[in-house]
Amino acid sequence: MFLRIVADSLGRRPRHKLLTGAALALGMGVATASLSVSLDVGDRLAKEFRSLGANLIVTPQADSLPLEIGGVDYRPVNAGAYLPEADLPKLKTIFWHNNIVAFAPTLEMYASVATTPDAANSPNNVQVIGTWADYPIYLSDGSTFATGINKTSPWFHIDGRWFAADAGTLKRVNVFDLPPGAVGGHTYVPIPDECVVGVRLAKRLSLHTGDHLYITYPNREDMHNYLGKPSIGCAVTGILTAGAAEDDAVLMPLVSVDRLARRGPGEYRKLYVSALTKPEDDFARRDPGTMKPDEFERWSCSPYVSSIAYSIKQVLPGADVRVIRRVAEGEGAILTRVRTLLWLVTGAALLAAALAVGASSAASVIERRTEIGLMKALGAGSGTVGFLLAAEQLLLAFVGGGAGYALGIILARLLGEKIFGAAPEPSLIVFFVIIALAAVVTILGSALPLHRASRIEPAPILRGE
């Protein structure tokens, strides 16, 4: 009988129920959309902040003091310490490997550059930076991770293309006509050097993409003794606009600069790491050395920039990992602000939706005084009447809440795709929160009118007074 009354009531005034349901669905749609966006925004914005580039810098512990002014190091080429490139794939094996978005090692030196192979009239002391660009790293799970300076410095604009990852290395080729006495079926041929030239240097030398640039030492004799030719040539693959010191520099693959600087292969001096982090709070700024074991565990299991720095230090022996405060702190502050802001918007949306939905359910109870009077006249107690109406409202809440959730997810998807180019994942928690919220709001909205309805005297109502 109970179910029959509820079913009958729902079917009897469809338009009315439809409107209450619509109010519920719209209200819960707002709540779902803003909740989904708020939950997701931290991660999305953290990714956006990577357009600021690296937030960690790794230098050799034993390094001498850099004499850097305006991005140019005045130290003699061979002063200071170096780190081995071979350790770098380990960065993708640390606990936070998924948070490491990009990294790029660099090695700087000074050389003379010219547009002719004999390197006459060449400007001296041009910065030559060896680094990676779209350099593939083969991970243990069989996938490839491409990283380099184009990822750690996303503001670099290149006209043309970056140098190939394997330029300046040796390529294995099969030899079909084996010379007598050769072992194996292959040999190695060098791949020609490639380089990218900063826009201001390119203008000074009137260089264009496709031209050749010749690099030599300030003392030509040295180069002759070392390589047996006056200079090393490279094909200019692109012109770089960086808005900083790199505009006056030549960028080459790290191996090429290692060779030029007469360093062993795969040595670098600075490593820039761009990592997704969680904004630092007071806890994050504490010295890990003074933490209790459980605190340390909590610290190292949160992607704070300092704990990521700590785990990088673990895999790169002899390295000093520092946080680039300028980037990391600005990022943290803005991220926290935006997050709070969106939570407030969400809160406001929830409040408005709750009030409107509550008002709607209150109205639907108020209008049913006659029905309540009739039920009571037929012998139903206040409890039964309240229970009946509450059940009806709850049923509506579940249907409306479910529809609202679907609506909200679609909206959040549109919003996410339009702004961040990626939709937030629908989350089950949000679904339960929304359904619970819909139930609470409808019950609260109808509680007061129901309470008043329970005190209704049936007789005056039935008389039409």
Partner 1 sequence: MADRRATNRAMFWRIIRRLFGANRGRLFVMLLALGAGAAVTAALLNLQVDAKRRLTSEFRRFGPNVLVLPQNSSQFRTETLPESIVHSVPVNLQSGRVVVTSHLYLVARLSPAGPGESFSAVVAGANPLAYLVGAVSSSSRFPGTPPVIPPATGHECVVGTNVARQLKAEQGTDFSVSNVDRREVCHVASFRQTGGPEDDRVEIGLRAAQRLADLPGRISAVELIVPGTPSEVQTYIKDLQRALPDADVRPIRQFTEAQAKIYDRINGLLTATVGIVLLLTGLCVMAAMTNVAMERRMDVGLMKAIGGSMRRVLRLFLAEAALLGLAGGMIGAAAGILLSIGLGKAVFGVAARPRLIVYPVAVALTVIVAILSAFPLRRLASIRPASVFRGEA
Range 356-375, binding partner 1 (CB under 8 A): 356-360, 362-364, 366-367
Contact letters for partner 1, residues 17-46 (x by CB under 8 A): --xx-xx--xx-xx--xx--x---x---x-
Residue 455 found at the interface with partner 1 (CB under 8 A): no
- The CA–CA distances, whole Å, from 175 to 126, 171, 184, 190, 218 equal 40, 12, 9, 15, 39
The answer to whether residues 130 and 149 touch, using CB atoms and an 8 Å cutoff, is no
3-state per-residue secondary structure call for 246-297: HHHCEEEEHHHHHHHCCCCCCEECEEEEEECCECCCCCCCCCHHHCCHHHHH
As measured in angstroms, the least distance from the Cβ of 348 to partner 1 is: 5
Query: Between residues 230 and 442, which has the closer beta carbon with respect to partner 1?
Result: 442
- Taking the complex as a whole, the smallest distance from the CB of residue 450 to partner 1 amounts, in Å, to 12
Residue 44 contacts residue 416 (beta carbons within 8 Å):
yes
**List 86, 170, 182, 345, residue binding partner 1 (CB under 8 A):** 345
Q: Of the two residues 254 and 284, which places its CB atom closer to partner 1 in the complex?
A: 284
Q: How far apart are CA 33 and CA 423, in angstroms?
A: 11
CA 359 centroid distance within chain: 41
Indicate the SS3 state at residue 115. coil
Pairing of strands 270-275, 144-147: unpaired
Region from 162-170, 355-363, 374-382, 432-440 binding partner 1, contact rule CB under 8 A: 355-363
For partner 1, the binding residues in 105-134 under the rule CB under 8 A are: 125-127
Given a contact cutoff of 8 angstroms between Cβ atoms, the answer to whether 311 and 96 are in contact is yes
Among positions 7, 355, 422, 459, the unique one binding partner 1 when judged by CB under 8 A: 355
3-class SS of residue 193: coil
> Hey, which residues between 233 and 262 contact partner 1 (CB under 8 A)?
241-245, 248-249
Asked whether position 141 contacts partner 1 by CB under 8 A, the answer is no
Q: Please, which residue, 23 or 372, has the CB nearer to partner 1?
A: 23
Q: Which of 359, 376, 377 is nearest to 444 (CA)?
A: 359
- Asked if 327 interacts with partner 1 (CB under 8 A), we say yes
The residues, any chain, with a CB within 8 Å of residue 378's CB and separated by 6 or more, are none
Contacts with partner 1, 433-452, as mask; x by CB under 8 A: ----------------x--x
- Of residues 139 and 341, the one with the C-beta less far from partner 1: 341
Whole-angstrom distance, CA of residue 300 vs CA of residue 101: 18
Could you say which residues in the range 58-97 bind partner 1, by CB under 8 A?
65-72, 74
| Residue 338 in the binding site for partner 1 (CB under 8 A) | yes
Size of the site for partner 1 (CB under 8 A): 88
Interface characters, 392-421, with partner 1 (x: CB under 8 A): -------------------x---x--xxx-
Nearer to partner 1, 7 or 419 (CB): 419
Site for partner 1 (CB under 8 A): which residue of 122, 153, 256, 442? 153
**Binding status of residue 461 toward partner 1 by CB under 8 A:** no
The pattern of x and - marking residues 271 through 290 that bind partner 1 according to CB under 8 A reads ---------x----x-x---
Instruction: Please name which of 441, 438, 354 lies closest in space to residue 402, comparing C-alpha atoms.
Output: 438
| Residues in Cβ contact with 58 at an 8 Å cutoff, skipping those fewer than 6 apart | 83, 270, 271, 272, 273, 312, 316, 319, 320, 321, 322
**How far apart are CB 309 and partner 1 at their closest, in Å?**
9
Least gap, CB of 124 to partner 1 (angstroms): 10
Q: How far is the CB of 30 from partner 1 (least distance, A)?
A: 4
Q: Among residues 7, 170, 173, 348, which is the contact residue for partner 1, using CB under 8 A?
A: 348
Please, which residues bridge with residue 320 across strands?
59
Q: Should residue 319 be labelled a site residue for partner 1 when binding is judged by CB under 8 A?
A: no
Total Cβ atoms within 10 A of residue 257: 26
